Amino acid sequence: MHARLRASGAEIQAIDYGKGFTHYYHALRQLVKTFSITTAHIVFFDYFSAVPWIARLCGVSHLIYEMQNSGEFRATAWKRRLLRVRTKAMTRPITRVIAISEFVKQQLVKGGVPEAAVMVRYLGVDVDRFRPDGRARLEWTRRFALRPDEVVLSTVSYLRPFKNPQVLVAACKELAKRHVTARLFVAGDGVMLPRLKILTEELGLGDRIHWLGDVAEPHTLLQASDMFLLASVGEAFGLVLAEAMACGVPVVGSRSGSIMEVVEDQRTGLLATPLDPVAFADAIERLAKDGELRRQLGAQAMEHVRRHFTVDIAVQKTIEIYESLWAGDTRTTHIRA
C-alpha cells in the first residue's frame, strides 16, 4: 500500500493515535503547517472519536468523515436521545460525511447526523484483479480433490458475530440432509473460528466445510466458486460481495443492510431471510441444481459491478466531493487521517 501511495505522488506520515490526544494534536498540527493542509479525509475512526475536533483545532478548514462501519442503530428512548446529542457534538466540525451505502446513510441519520451533510459513495472493486479466470477452478480442484459434480461455495470475512457464519454452517447441514453435493470454503480468521470448527465436527460436516484461515490471495477462491455466501445482518457495504460478483459469481446473501443494494435479487444473486439457515439452503439448492441460472446470474453480476462498483467510479465520485468543498478555495492540499 505504501508503494502504491508513493507511486501516485502521496506523502506518507504516521501518527500514533494511541499515544493520546496531546501527542496526536501536536504531530498533526506540525503536518498541517508543513504541508499547508486545508482538507482532511478521515477514514476508519468512528464518528465519536476526537479526530475531527483535533483536526479543526489544528487549522484544517474542510473535514470529510467516511463511515464504513457495519451495524444497526437500535437505541431507543433516552439512550437514543443521548446518542443523538453525543453525535451532534462530536460531528460538529465535520463538513461532509461520506456513507458507503444508502443503508449506512440511514444509520447515520438515525444517529443524529444531518441528512443534508451525508453523501453516498460506494466502495470500488479492482476489476483487473477480480475477474473470471477458469484456471482458478482447476487449481482448487487439484488442491482439494473436488469431484466434477460438487458445487463450490465460498465466503470471505472476518469471523465475528454480525457476520453470522454459524448460519452458513447450519445451511450446509440442511444441504447434506437434502443430498445436495456441495463444499463450503471459508477464508478468514476471527474470534468465532474455534467454536465454528467445533460446531462443524459436531454436525458431521468435516468433509463439507474447509476453514482456511487468512488467505493472502482470496480472489482465486472467488474465481473458483459457483456461489458466494454472506449471512451478515447490518452489513455496511460488503466489498467482498462486489469482488465475487466481479469474478462472475452469483451471491446468496441476507436480505439485510447494504446487501440489498449491492445484490439485485433474482438478477445478480438470491437474497434469503436473515438468520434463517433453511432459507439459505433453499437458495443454494436452487442455484446448485440450475447451472444455467448460475451462469446467467453470474454474468449479470459481473456487468452490474462494472456499471456501479469499480475503483474508477469510486475515485471519480470522491474527487467530485472534494471539488464541491474546494469551489472558490484555491488551496487543494489534503490529508487522509
The per-residue pLDDT for 61 is 92
pTM: 0.91
Cβ atoms 325, 62 nearer than 8 A: yes
pLDDT at residue 335 tops 50 = no
The per-residue pLDDT for 334 is 43
Give pLDDT tens digits for 264-320. Answer: 999 999 999 999 999 999 999 999 999 999 999 999 999 999 999 999 999 999 999
SS (H, E, C) the chain: CHHHHHHCCCCCCCCCHHHCHHHHHHHHHHHHHHHCCCEEEEECCCCCCCHHHHHHHCCCCEEEEEECCCCCCCCCHHHHHHHHHHHHHHHCCCCEEEECCHHHHHHHHHHCCCHHHEEECCCCECCCCCCCCHHHHHHHHHHHCCCCCCEEEEEECCCCHHHCHHHHHHHHHHHHHCCCCEEEEEEECCCCHHHHHHHHHHCCCCCCEEEEECCCCHHHHHHCCCEEEECCCCCCCCHHHHHHHHCCCCEEEECCCCHHHHCCECCCEEEECCCCHHHHHHHHHHHHCCHHHHHHHHHHHHHHHHHHCEHHHHHHHHHHHHHHHHCCCCCCCEEEC
The per-residue pLDDT for 253 is 98
Give pLDDT tens digits for 228-264. Answer: 999 999 999 999 999 999 999 999 999 999 999 999 9
Give pLDDT tens digits for 65-89. Answer: 999 988 887 778 888 888 888 888 8
The per-residue pLDDT for 177 is 97
Cell of 259: 446487501
**For residue 337, what pLDDT band results from cuts at 50, 70 and 90?**
very low
Which domains, from first to last, does the chain contain? 2-124+311-336 (3.40.50), 134-307 (3.40.50.2000)
d(CA 100, CA 113): 15
Picking from 230, 235, 259, the residue whose alpha carbon sits closest to that of residue 71 is 235
**For residue 90, what pLDDT band results from cuts at 50, 70 and 90?**
confident
The per-residue pLDDT for 336 is 45
The per-residue pLDDT for 330 is 47
- Mean pLDDT of the chain, nearest integer: 93
Tell how far CA 170 is from the center of its chain: 23
Task: Work out the angle between the directed axes of helices 277-288 and 165-177 (0-180°, nearest 10).
Answer: 60
The per-residue pLDDT for 47 is 73
d(CA 35, CA 27): 12
The per-residue pLDDT for 328 is 57
d(CA 265, CA 271): 6
d(CA 117, CA 93): 12
Q: Which residues of 292-328 are buried (b: 16+ CB within 10 A; e: fewer)?
A: eebeebbebbbebbbeebbeebbeeebeebeeebbee
The per-residue pLDDT for 332 is 42
Give pLDDT tens digits for 131-190. Answer: 999 999 999 999 999 999 999 999 999 999 999 999 999 999 999 999 999 999 999 999
The per-residue pLDDT for 329 is 60
SS (H, E, C) 211-239: EEECCCCHHHHHHCCCEEEECCCCCCCCH
